Amino acid sequence: MVDDSELGSPEVRSYWRSWLVALMFCVVWFGVTSMAIILTFLALSLIGISEAFSMHLSISFAYLISIPLTLLFMYVENLLPDLSEKISIKSANQAFVLLLAIPLLVTIVDFIIVMGYGIAYELAFGVPEVDTDIGVDWGSGPIALGLVIISTVIIAPIAEELMFRGYVLDSIRKMHGDRVAIVISSMIFGLVHIEPYTAGMAAIGGLIYGFVRVRTESLWPSIIGHMMWNGVALVVTYL
């Protein structure tokens, strides 16, 4: 806790400035991606592209925009020089561990915990009402299915992990250390998913991905684990 006499010190001012910047960047990221989805969807719909195609093209476009935006945030906070280390793979053994073994374990653990969360949520609040209609199903053509897979399983995990485990976690980590950074970054990650039940699942995933990111110092396990989770959710829940 900061003493009143210390509120005007340069260290405290720098502390609050860092928090203000990090929170502002989170709001900007969410606002830009949301507006990009909405405006692109409207533009595509106006030229006659179907609702399902418009939605998933919009999501892909918005997340692609968010990647350089996150890199800008990292540059401003001097986190960009560390990015190469976070994505480097130095050997075949390391590739196996970071790209397959850990992500697979992460996905299994995430699934088990989310199952418990789902049971607890249902007991407390009743069966959650989650919209599972994404405009595409197994009867859709290969182009539609491919677009959904690209937007949901590939682009979204890369963009979200870069932002929340690449930028947000490390920004908070500089001020508060590992544990607080993992918890707060996971809470923010949950909040951007908006719908209460989904937000809880996302926060659980965020805790696991954040822990693995800190332990491995690599973004790959959380990115691949996030891809696996979205892939399973897409097949089991949405298609």
- HSE-up of residue 44 (Cα within 13 Å, Cβ side): 19
Sign of CA dihedral 224, 228, 233, 234: positive
Percent of the chain with pLDDT over 70: 93
Per-residue confidence at 238, pLDDT binned at 50, 70, 90?
Answer: low
> What tens digit of pLDDT does each residue of 171-187 get?
999 888 899 999 999 99
Closest C-alpha among 222, 227, 234, 158 to residue 186: 222
pLDDT at 1 over 50: no
Q: What pLDDT is attached to residue 157? A: 96
- Give, for 97, the enclosing helix (H) or strand (E): none
> Does residue 106 contact residue 221 with C-beta atoms inside 8 Å?
yes
Q: What pLDDT is attached to residue 8? A: 55
How many C-beta atoms lie closer than 10 Å to residue 46's C-beta? 9
Q: Which of 38-42, 142-146, 154-158 has the lowest mean pLDDT?
A: 142-146
Percent of the chain with pLDDT over 90: 71
> What tens digit of pLDDT does each residue of 62-95 get?
999 999 999 999 999 999 999 999 999 999 999 9
Q: What pLDDT is attached to residue 109? A: 96
Q: What share of the chain is helix, strand, coil (3-state, %, to 5)?
A: 80, 0, 20
